[in-house]
Chain A
Amino acid sequence: MALNSVGRDIPETFAGKKLIPYSDPWSLQPHAERSTRAIRRITHNGSKLVGGLRDAIIASGLKDGMTISTHHSLRNGDQLLNDLVREIDALGIRDIKIASSSVHIVHAELIPFIRKGVISGFECGVNGLIGELVSKGELDCPIIVRSHGGRARALITGEVPVDVAFLAAPYCDEYGNFNGYYGPSACGSLGYAQVDAQHAHKVVAVTDNLVPFPAVPVGIPQSVVDFVCQVPRLGDPKKIVSSTTKITTDPIGLQIAKYAALVMESSGYIKDGFSFQTGTGGISLAVAENVRAIMRAGKIKGAFGCGGITGNFVDMLEEGLFEALFDVQCFDLKAVESIGRNQKHVEMTAGTYANPFNCGSVVNRLDCAILSATEIDVNFNVNVNTESTGYLLHNTGGHCDVAAGAKVSIVVCPSIRGRLPMIRDEVTTITTPGETVGVIVTERGIAVNDNLPELKAELIRRRAPVKDIRQLRDEIYAVTGVPRPIEFEDKVVGLIEYRDGSIIDVVRQVCP
């Protein structure tokens, strides 16, 4: 055990890997070459179609102990990972690691296969029941949670070697060119799959929409695709674009959004060349709406909007408020439709988006970003992985990447959820270190990190409700009381990897 710089006990090894305790966001340097894979030579000019999913698994040479991946752009509508694991089981293959870009609630169907030994670990974060059962000790399956940028890093450096990537291909031809823009399972950007396509040892394009050659525009090219297989359907279109796309009407949410917009306005970054990232969810959209009004009023032409893209961002692009959108995943149909026709709406790989180990990712160019939290501590550390139950329920997404990159990262969070205080002495799990978090915005007030003194002074000048974060905590505790700490066993069931590969926290089994 070693204590990392944010005070968490990190074991020396986990699931057979030696661990580096987190020290700070910037200093860890890569000592690696880009990962290599065998160069293949396909000389035939015919079809790469191998039949169905089972044929593709056989053709790929998947064996016991190997690692597979999928992309999560179909989100909760994804059927591919579930079907894939069922076929892997049917072929008698065991001890498979999953290194998908994310695992969603819909993938709770995998649980019997974890119990059966078909799946023996996750090289990626998980959303929903799998993490809960692992936290309770009811499933024995190590989980290594990575951020979007961190996952790209791990594939590119070869820390996580993906043996076979099975990539959902919504619009695909028989020679393996595909994109995500069209078809019944259209999901827009394939930003995460791009990394797998370049680095997995074998690449299978899985489609429910085979179109005559060539499938253009080419998102992922034939030159990196080994096989193409057909399935009746990749997923449920209704759930592919299921994120909240309505602006909140909750007065508390609107108040938070108003304060967040005030923070951005006070930062001085909303001017020509402004860049911005926000997520989905009612509050984030309300913030975007406020920013839009400020930009309109000031006749401001921003540089770019970034991240997961919503219709709201598309409207801002089309209105001329941004020069471009950098899109790693589309959150709604309007975004999907836009990326297929507008050259200023640019598909961005997860590596370009957020990998810390390259010559500069897009998050580095962000002025302001809106982030969420399940808990925040008085040192500005943010948890998005576990909830106050201690269960691992959420993946990191781009949280720590964006916080590190953006000049002003703004965490928006109601001060109380249910009866629980959201600002506390300690968070259950540290996802994102406080030194990369600029401002915490709740309906009860705004806490500004000491590393942004000018912003703090400007907010006070504008009579914003700026409060010391400890004062904010005390006000919330006065309403909720101080929660009793959760009791954990010593057993580590999951890792929270920081974007650079060091370990910022671990998830321990919760006492029954």
Chain B
Amino acid sequence: MADYKLRRSLLYVPGNMPSMLQNVPLFQCDAVQIDLEDAVPLAEKDAARILVRRFLDTYKERNKEVLVRINGLDTKWALDDLKAVLPGLPDGIRLPKADSPDVVERLDTLLTEYEEELGLEVGFFKILPSIETAMGVINAVFTARASTRLIGLAFGAEDYTATMEINRTKTGEELFNARMNVLWAAKAAGIQALDSIFADVNDMDALRTETELIKKLGFTGKSLVNPRQIDVVHEVFAPKQAEVDYALQVMDAIKRAREMGTGVISLKGKMIDRPVVVRAARVLSTARAHGMVDVVINEEDINGAE
């Protein structure tokens, strides 16, 4: 089941920088990915872990989804990372190098153990696996179904191009196959597909072009390396007024259908059923984030009352 949670912008924040962590509540991205992996030098792994935990403890009024990117499960830091940060209740873990479903399954098991220990409902912690190697791309279709905790598949183009021994270009032709594979895997499993970072923080035009491309392909969001990139990505993902108007009509139609005791209705000759409603709900929640509408869509609007 595809959720409709907004994940247009997933901002990386280095876990070893107090000055940046303190600003996490302030940025208008949909999610942050606090990084313990590549952004943190080896000598600072321990300190960063403690700092991130402290930050999570103080960040009580969460206004965005909070993911922590731990070190790869094949490293000596991963277990300590989980032990340190999970009691701080992040929404989920971004799992690097998810080359195969077993890596995700392993994390799933670990998370369940922590949930039991912390007295949380099983499934509390979500997983966002990074598909960032050739093997990861090949296995994506299985990885996408490896756990019910998955909120999506995240494509990591920097590591991917490195494992492919090619250069990443601004136009991104070299990424097409991998992107499509990640997209198919995610969409087939009913989860979101989230695109890679764009590294040049001064080239907003190229960022816009790339974001337009990945939106067209079917990605619902993108990882970001700098807060300045948020506005551009949100602008690209802003729905058109006509889309918003149509989505409002869809929600209205399905409400009428349910009042009549059915889950299907025709709107201007087109059939409106649950998938159309889910898509409309996503358009409206994006539109709301852009200040275009005031409506709040909840589960009941999508699924009907039990």
Q: Which residues of A contact B (CB under 8 A)?
A: 249, 251-252, 254-255, 258, 416, 443-444, 462-463, 478-479
Closest chain B residue to A480 by CB distance?
B22
Cβ contact within 8 Å between B228 and A249? yes
What's the Cα separation between A295 and B227 when bound, in Å? 25
Contact of A251 among B22, B25, B58, B226 (CB under 8 A): B226
Chain A to chain B: the 9 pairs with minimum beta-carbon distance, closest first:
A251-B227, A443-B26, A463-B291, A251-B228, A479-B22, A444-B26, A254-B228, A252-B23, A255-B26
CB-defined interface of B209-234 with A at 8 Å, one 1/0 digit per residue?
A: 00000000000000000111001000
The residues of A that contact B27 with a CB separation of less than 8 Å are 251, 255
Interface of B is mostly: helix
Query: How many chain B residues touch the partner (CB < 8 A)?
Result: 11
What's the Cα separation between A479 and B228 when bound, in Å? 23
- In the complex, given contacts A251-B27, A255-B27, what are 7 additional A-B residue pairs having Cβ atoms less than 8 angstroms apart? A249-B228, A251-B226, A251-B227, A251-B228, A255-B227, A463-B291, A479-B22
The residues of B that contact A258 with a CB separation of less than 8 Å are 231
What's the Cα separation between A463 and B291 when bound, in Å? 7
Contact of B23 among A249, A443, A462, A478 (CB under 8 A): A443
What's the Cα separation between A163 and B291 when bound, in Å? 61
Smallest beta-carbon distance B32→chain A, Å: 13
CB-defined interface of B16-50 with A at 8 Å, one 1/0 digit per residue?
A: 00000011011100000000000000000000000
What's the Cα separation between A455 and B26 when bound, in Å? 22
The residues of A that contact B226 with a CB separation of less than 8 Å are 251
The residues of B that contact A478 with a CB separation of less than 8 Å are 58
Closest chain B residue to A251 by CB distance?
B227
What's the Cα separation between A252 and B23 when bound, in Å? 8
What's the Cα separation between A249 and B201 when bound, in Å? 10
What's the Cα separation between A240 and B58 when bound, in Å? 46
The residues of A that contact B58 with a CB separation of less than 8 Å are 478
Smallest beta-carbon distance B225→chain A, Å: 11
A-B pairs with beta carbons under 8 Å apart, 18 shown: A251-B23, A251-B27, A251-B226, A252-B23, A252-B26, A254-B227, A254-B228, A255-B26, A255-B27, A255-B227, A258-B231, A416-B22, A443-B23, A443-B26, A462-B291, A463-B291, A478-B58, A479-B22
CB-defined interface of B96-138 with A at 8 Å, one 1/0 digit per residue?
A: 0000000000000000000000000000000000000000000
What's the Cα separation between A501 and B242 when bound, in Å? 59
The residues of A that contact B228 with a CB separation of less than 8 Å are 249, 251, 254
Closest chain A residue to B231 by CB distance?
A258
The residues of B that contact A416 with a CB separation of less than 8 Å are 22
The residues of A that contact B25 with a CB separation of less than 8 Å are 444
What's the Cα separation between A251 and B22 when bound, in Å? 13
What's the Cα separation between A444 and B291 when bound, in Å? 19
What's the Cα separation between A254 and B232 when bound, in Å? 13
What's the Cα separation between A264 and B291 when bound, in Å? 18
Closest chain A residue to B61 by CB distance?
A475
The residues of A that contact B26 with a CB separation of less than 8 Å are 252, 255, 443-444
Smallest beta-carbon distance B31→chain A, Å: 16
Smallest beta-carbon distance B61→chain A, Å: 9
What's the Cα separation between A479 and B26 when bound, in Å? 13
What's the Cα separation between A352 and B58 when bound, in Å? 51
Closest chain B residue to A258 by CB distance?
B231
The residues of B that contact A444 with a CB separation of less than 8 Å are 25-26
Smallest beta-carbon distance B255→chain A, Å: 25
What's the Cα separation between A506 and B252 when bound, in Å? 64
The residues of B that contact A479 with a CB separation of less than 8 Å are 22
What's the Cα separation between A249 and B204 when bound, in Å? 13
Closest chain B residue to A463 by CB distance?
B291
The residues of A that contact B231 with a CB separation of less than 8 Å are 258
What's the Cα separation between A444 and B231 when bound, in Å? 17
What's the Cα separation between A277 and B25 when bound, in Å? 31
Closest chain B residue to A475 by CB distance?
B25
Smallest beta-carbon distance B251→chain A, Å: 21
